[in-house]
Amino acid sequence: MTDLVNTSFNLVMFVHVLLTAAILGCVGYRLIKGFAIGESIYKLDWQDIDNALQQDLIMVILRCQRPGFLHAGHLGYMTYTMIVTVSK
């Protein structure tokens, strides 16, 4: 009976760790890609386009300068640094 419980628990923990790593990996990837948006827009030749689109791009660049975070329910906010620390 003890061996069955140990085997089942090990399998459940393995699946849990595997799924958690996959979820954190996907979320981290999306955060990293999101951080590159402002830099990509800044590198564009956006000075030659119409004024309305220039204003929109400036707003996107300004928004990208604010830190990104995820709301983790009652635990508070998870920043990029915290996600990387937890992933390690």
pLDDT digits (tens, 9 = 90+) for 10-44: 878 888 888 999 998 888 888 788 778 888 888 88
Q: Work out the pLDDT band at 5, boundaries 50, 70, 90.
A: low
Q: Where are the domains of the chain?
A: 2-87
pLDDT for 43-78, tens place per residue? Answer: 888 778 899 998 998 898 888 887 766 777 777 777
**Residue with more model confidence, 28 or 1:** 28
pTM (whole model) above 0.85: no
- For strands 69-71 and 77-79, give the pairing: antiparallel
| Overall size of the chain counted in residues | 88
| DSSP letters spanning 11-51 | HHHHHHHHHHHHHHHHHHHHHHHHHHHHHHHHHS-GGGS-H
